[in-house]
Structure 1
Amino acid sequence: MDIGRTVDGVVDDALITGNEYLYLGVSWVPGVPTLDLVEVCSVRHVRVPVVGRRVAFRTAAPDRFCTGRYGFADRIGIDYLPCPRQERADQSAQCARCAGLDEFRFAHNFHQGGYAPPALTEYMNQPHWVYVATFADASSKVGTATDARRRSRIDEQGAVTASYVAHTRDGRTARI
C-alpha cells in the first residue's frame, strides 16, 4: 500500500472528521490491530483500534510523504517520531532529513561493523529471534525481532504464517 495522506479515514474519538491524516500502517502495539496515523495539521501521532469498525480511505494527494523516523526510548523501546515538516518522501518512505536522523538505519549492517549509535548498540545487545515469515502471495522473508517484539513484529508485517528458527544472544548474532 502506498503511503499518502488520507481524509476522513476512520470514525473515532481521537480523529476529527475532515482532517487529513498520513497513513503509516497497521501495528499491533497494544496487542490488537490499530491504524497508525499522523494528523497533518498538528503532526500528532494517533493509533486507532480497527477491530469491529468500518474503515474507509480517500487519497487526498498522489504524492508520497515522509513517514518520519524511529528513535530509541531506552534499551528495549523505540519511539515513533513524526516528520516535523511533513516533507515529500524521496526514494524511500522518508525525506532526506528524517533518513539522516534515523538511528535505526544502521541496524541492517550492524553485523558488519562500522558506525552504530550508542542507543542502537545497546538495543542490539539484547536477545533476538530469527524468523521466516510467509505472506499471502507465497513470498517469504527472513527477519529478526527482540524478545519484547517477538509477536508484534510478525503481526505488523501481515504474515500468514511464521516460524522462529533461532534465538540468539544478541542482534549481531541474529544478523550473521
Structure 2
Amino acid sequence: MKILGIDPGYAILGWGVVEMKGNSFKALNYGAVTTPAGMDMTDRLKVLYNELMNIIVEEEPDIASVEELFFNTNTKTAIMVGQARGVALLACANSGLPVYEFTPLQIKQGLVGYGRAEKKQVQMMVKTILGLSSVPKPDDTADALAAAICCGHSANSRDRLKNKL
C-alpha cells in the first residue's frame, strides 16, 4: 500500500510517499512545496493545490494521511495553516483518495511510543524506520513521512481488528 503523508502549511507544505508491505516501510519519494512570503494568499493556495495534484498523479498513492491542525496561539497563523490544510484535503478528495487524519500527539505516539516526544525523536524514528541515511529536510518533510508511517501502523491495527470481529 502506498501512503501519501501531508504536513500542511502555507509557506512550506511537507509531503512524503511511503510504501508499506507487512510491517515494513520504504520511502518512495518526499519533498516540500514552498510558496514565497510576499505572494498573495489565494495564489499561494493555488500553488499548493496544483503541486499536490501533480504529486498525487505522479505518485499514485492508495490513501492519504493529513496532520490535523495543532491550535496555535497566533490565530491568524492558525487560520492560514487551516486554509492550506483545506486545500490539501480538497486535492485528496478530488483525486478520490481516502483520507485519514491524525493529531501531532497521535503521530508522535505512533512513531515514538510517547505523545509528547520531541521533534528530534520523531525525526530519528522516521530515519530509522525508513532506513534513510539522514533525517529528511525540511522538518515539514519528516513530519509528512511520520504522518504516513502513523497511518500505516493504524491501517495494520484496523485490519487486525477487522479480522478478529
- Structures share fold, TM-score greater than 0.5: no
**Larger RCO: 1 or 2 (CA < 8 Å, sep 6+):** 2
**Greater radius of gyration (CA):** 1
Higher strand share: 1
Q: TM-score scaled by structure 2?
A: 0.28
Instruction: Decide which structure has greater helix share.
Output: 2
